[in-house]
Copies of this chain bind each other. A is one copy, B any other.
């Protein structure tokens, strides 16, 4: 944190007024348990200066991850004084008691549509901490490419775009470790049975046929052996409570059009949509056997919600009005409705990101608790290392506030937020994060010369 605060300017002033000098920061953490997991205590209390010991600031938290959030807040209270050339905290004394509204505050990245090198992912992780997001939803593979090493099935990553656009298992572990040190969980997604064409490059038996290549072949036991192998390898690296099994946008034509599969369907008395259900539930069981709880995209709920494992979290994406049905049925929900929280939709404004309330139409307090949080999605069709940061920021920050801040402290009108978000955008730039201007669509270049705060 010290490096982050200092690197905007050279701090070479003299501390002339010793009475206002902070000698340091006392950090008190109650729990020695530094395991990062869903639902841990992320609260903190920050006092600048400490009333008991004014030469120090005081930060207390139950976990080290709460303390990290407190340090982040402190770093954003720090300003460089151009006269004295020292770092200052303005408007002290401060007593800040803070904790997140939702436990799951996510950002999705997509490394299948374009490979994202490790330094790019690490920069994104760093930027997430500035807005206190805490889950990196890693959509690792999809139709277009399979970039991750799977030791159980080593030909799977033949589906990578090229030999060099791949992640070893050690690279994946590095990402998890880098994120964990910063209080960010990594949730791996293995999207099945659709969005999986790339699996067959290494193992063509997974394709219904050589010219009908997804969804994964539901009639083949090998398909489920591979899923089991992948999830077994995942379980050694991805320690987050949840694994995401996808299940979206499943076009079953290649099942019904391929003769060995249509025969299998007949034999098992399934139509295509029952086969879809069968596939999803079987994949769920495999994940459960590896100790995971499951997240699935909402089509699974929309089609056979009452059949899903009760440990399923439904990931809403198609639009509004779904979360309320999910929680009414007793399942948990993550909100990512695409009309408001898809970052690849460049025409969605930061105001729309801000005003998207996950608990819309959910009044019952038990049901409200079933919304574990929300997530903004940075789909990768037009995203690579050249433009990922300015497409994510600053709009993700608007959503991040919606997910962290107590409901009654949120702005009722987005216009109240403009100044603060402009300030935060410039803070991101000052930290080397390529956050785009506020004005205009996502990822727009600055329209004209001017102050950062007016862009």
**A contacts, CB < 8 Å to B:** 7-10, 12, 79-80, 82, 85, 112-115, 117-120, 122-123, 144-145, 149, 161-168, 170-171, 173-174, 380-387, 389-390, 426, 429-437, 443, 445-455
Contact = CB atoms under 8 A, between A and B. Distances in A.
Nearest to A143: B449
A385 B174 contact: no
**Total identical chains:** 2
Nearest to A119: B432
Closest 6 CB pairs of A and B: A161-B451, A119-B432, A10-B170, A113-B449, A385-B429, A117-B430
Contacts of A389: 386, 434
B429 A120 contact: yes
Contacts of A85: 168, 170
A143 B380 CA distance: 39
Given A383-B446, A386-B437, A8 B117 contact: yes
A161 B446 CA distance: 15
A165 B449 contact: no
Contacts of A434: 385-387, 389, 434
A451 B145 CA distance: 9
Given A162-B451, A449-B113, A386 B429 contact: yes
A10, A80, A85, A437: most-surrounded residue (chain B CB, <10 A):
A10
A17 to B, nearest CB: 19
A166 to B, nearest CB: 6
A162 B122 CA distance: 31
B119 A447 contact: no
B449 A168 contact: no
Nearest to A175: B10
Contact of A384 (B114, B162, B168, B446): B446
23 contacts: A9-B118, A10-B170, A10-B173, A82-B149, A82-B168, A114-B446, A114-B455, A115-B452, A119-B430, A120-B429, A122-B432, A162-B451, A162-B452, A164-B426, A165-B451, A380-B449, A381-B448, A382-B448, A385-B433, A385-B434, A386-B434, A389-B434, A434-B434
